[in-house]
Each structure stands twice: as structure tokens, then as C-alpha cells.
Amino acid sequence: DTAVSQTPKYLVTQMGNDKSIKCEQNLGHDTMYWYKQDSKKFLKIMFSYNNKELIINETVPNRFSPKSPDKAHLNLHINSLELGDSAVYFCASSQDNGQWASDTIYFGEGSWLTVV
Amino acid sequence: AQKITQTQPGMFVQEKEAVTLDCTYDTSDPSYGLFWYKQPSSGEMIFLIYQGSYDQQNATEGRYSLNFQKARKSANLVISASQLGDSAMYFCAMRGDSSYKLIFGSGTRLLVRP
């Protein structure tokens, strides 16, 4: 069983469309994250939720909206997609609230988003 | 501010030899954690090893060990007996106790030659 699973793995869509990426973790973790990896492989955090509460909200366009229906799920919805949104989006989770330095983050397999 | 620096964009190593991937960091937090992740060509991010700033011994996980030198603010990853399957991107990352954020370095691409 995959610990952190996200769907879809590949997504090709046109500019202006709205799309969602779903994420689920079966590790019983309290905290979930969305990270973005750009074309240069640089990874940066976008959002983090702890027990359905938003605790990190980086400087991300308002077109990106995370939703956490429960602590095992964290979905990412993107409105009005732009070419620059093309990237790999990683969902991740960690045991505690992420405040402890030792709290290891486990990643999903990534979702490759291509906007054309 | 916290910062992770990986100065080696790419490296080669011969199969069965050991290789060291460099990582330096900067933080004002007295307590922090250092992590290494592997990203193979298939794209997933795989957690490899963790080192706490107050750990007395260097972390080891199988063929992976972390050469932690606190005074130099370095946390180099050592892979012993390299295998072809070790060819991947390797990312060093850090989190301090004052922040929820795990920040990453720019990565090192390792290629293992047969």
C-alpha cells in the first residue's frame, strides 16, 4: 500500500482551465503538505495543514487553493491555469505538527502538471 | 533565515566505490534537523536519512551515512559501495525548531558508472 498517494500522476491541460490534484495518506499522520518542484528541480513548500488547520501558506497566487476535508486528505485546486504553473506538485505528510525538527516528511510520487 | 547549499550540480562515481555529496547549511535555530532525500528518474522523493543537531553520533542507514560537522555547518551524505540504482538526484534539507518549513538545497545529480 502506498503511504502517500496522489492523483493524477500526469495532467496535461490548457491555459485557463481549472484542475485539482488529490492526495491521501494512510500513515495516520497529523500534518500534510504541498510542495512544488520547478523545471530546475527546486523544491519549495506551498501549503501545510495540521489536523485540517492551515499552518503554512507561502506566497502562492490565490488561484491555488488547498482543501483538507480530514487529516488524511489534502487536495490542491488550481484555477485559471497559466503556463508558469507547469511543474511537479508533491503531496507529503509528517507525524506531528511539523514543528519539531526531527519530524520527517514523507512524500508522494508527484503529479506532473503541464499547461499548454 | 535558513539556507541549504549544495555546491555540486553533478557527480560521477564508479560502481562499488564510495561517494560523498556535500551539503552546508545556515540557521540561527539552536535545534534543527538535517535530512537527505533521493529522487530517481521516476520522480518520487525518497527519504534516506536524518540527523538531529544534538545527536552525538553520525546517522547511518545501511549504505548511507551522514558526516555531520556541526562547527562547519556541514552535513555531507556518504554512499558506500555505490550501485547503479543509486543514480539519482539527491537533496539535502533542513528544518529548525522555530519553523514548520522543510527547506531544500538545489540538489546534486549522481551518476554511477558501471
Q: What is the reported pLDDT for A99?
A: 62
CB contact A49 to B (< 8 Å): no
The three cell numbers of residue A74 are: 489534502
Q: Mean pLDDT in each 10-residue stretch from start to end of chain B (114 residues)?
A: 93 97 94 96 95 93 97 97 98 87 95 97
Exposure of B59 by Cβ count < 10 A (0-12 exposed, 13-18 middle, 19+ buried)? buried
Mean pLDDT, residues A64-80: 95
Q: What is the reported pLDDT for A98?
A: 56
Q: Does the distance separating the beta carbons of A42 and B106 come in below 8 Å? A: yes
Question: Which residues does chain B have within 8 Å of residue A100's beta carbon, measured at their own beta carbons?
Answer: 33, 97
Q: Does the distance separating the beta carbons of A110 and B106 come in below 8 Å? A: no
Question: Which residues does chain A have within 8 Å of residue B101's beta carbon, measured at their own beta carbons?
Answer: 45, 48, 56
CB contact A5 to B (< 8 Å): no
Question: Which residues does chain B have within 8 Å of residue A110's beta carbon, measured at their own beta carbons?
Answer: 43-45
Q: Does the distance separating the beta carbons of A99 and B97 come in below 8 Å? A: yes
The beta-carbon neighbor of B100 closest among A41, A99, A112 is A99
Residue A33: Cβ within 10 Å count: 29
Q: Does the distance separating the beta carbons of B91 and A103 come in below 8 Å? A: no
How many Cβ pairs within 8 Å bridge chains A and B?
64
- List Cβ<8 Å contacts ≥24 apart for B25-29: B25/B73, B25/B74, B25/B75, B25/B92, B25/B94, B26/B1, B26/B2, B26/B73, B27/B2, B27/B3, B27/B94, B27/B96, B28/B2, B28/B96, B29/A101, B29/B2, B29/B96, B29/B97, B29/B98, B29/B99
The beta-carbon neighbor of B43 closest among A43, A56, A88 is A88
Q: Does the distance separating the beta carbons of A109 and B44 come in below 8 Å? A: yes
Q: Does the distance separating the beta carbons of A40 and B106 come in below 8 Å? A: yes
Q: What is the reported pLDDT for A103?
A: 83
- Per-residue pLDDT reduced to its tens digit, A1-35: 669 999 999 999 999 999 999 999 999 999 999 99
- Per-residue pLDDT reduced to its tens digit, A29-68: 999 999 999 999 999 999 999 888 888 888 789 999 999 9
Structure-model confidence comparison of residues A99 and B82, the more confident one: B82
